[in-house]
């Protein structure tokens, strides 16, 4: 197996790899230090990505969708004028709450993102240090970790 093919398989999720590809990949990782390091690098990135915050849906979204669905046409047209200001006011309040929430999330997200970017930069540095070392030597590493993964 070529390194390019191995690297493609490494970034494919394990359950999507074909059985024969899995075996060929294990075989390749057995003797290719570069791809083995790449494999560990991707695993680390994968782990970091799971640490990203999950976005929350905007507040009252479900309530708003439900009220849209259950609105009966006959009740919509009668008190329009009376309700207009009330509706505008409600929309304004919802929008303010939504925007306030979004801004808060955004600030939180930027901090998280910077922390993760710092981690990624560290990994990139580790990777380039490894590349330099790799160019100078060949090292045998036990495969137990790789086989446990399958």
Positions that interact with Zn ion (CB under 5 A): 3, 6, 32, 35
141 phi and psi, to 5 degrees?
-120, 135
Would you say 111 or 147 has its CB closer to Zn ion?
Answer: 147
Would you say 3 or 118 has its CB closer to Zn ion?
Answer: 3
Would you say 42 or 83 has its CB closer to Zn ion?
Answer: 42
**In angstroms, what is the minimal distance from the CB of 138 to Zn ion?**
13
d(C-alpha 122, C-alpha 41), whole Å? 11
**In angstroms, what is the minimal distance from the CB of 25 to Zn ion?**
10
Residue that is written with structure tokens 């790799």 in the block: 134
Would you say 9 or 94 has its CB closer to Zn ion?
Answer: 9
- Pick the closest to residue 98 from 69, 65, 57 (CA basis): 57
Q: Which residues contact 29 (CB under 8 A, 6 or more apart)?
A: 6, 35, 36, 39, 143, 146
**In angstroms, what is the minimal distance from the CB of 54 to Zn ion?**
35
Would you say 4 or 144 has its CB closer to Zn ion?
Answer: 4
**In angstroms, what is the minimal distance from the CB of 9 to Zn ion?**
10
Question: Which tokens is 81 given?
Answer: 């004028």
Half-sphere exposure of 18 (CA within 13 A, CB side): 6
Please tell me the total number of residues recorded for the chain in this structure: 150
**In angstroms, what is the minimal distance from the CB of 63 to Zn ion?**
54
């Amino acid at each position: 197996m070529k390194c390019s093919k191995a690297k493609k398989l490494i970034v494919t999720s394990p359950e999507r790899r074909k059985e024969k590809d899995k075996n060929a990949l294990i075989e390749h990782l057995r003797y290719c230090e570069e791809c083995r390091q790449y494999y560990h690098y991707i695993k680390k990135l994968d782990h970091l990505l799971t640490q990203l915050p999950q976005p929350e849906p905007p507040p009252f979204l479900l309530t708003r969708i439900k009220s849209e669905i259950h609105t009966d046409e006959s009740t919509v047209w009668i008190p329009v004028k009376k309700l207009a200001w009330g509706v505008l006011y409600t929309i304004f309040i919802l929008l303010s709450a939504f925007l306030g929430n979004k801004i808060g999330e955004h600030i939180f997200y930027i901090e998280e993102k910077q922390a993760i970017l710092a981690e990624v930069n560290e990994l990139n540095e580790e990777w380039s240090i490894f590349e330099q070392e790799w160019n100078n030597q060949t090292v045998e590493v036990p495969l137990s970790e790789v086989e446990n993964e399958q």
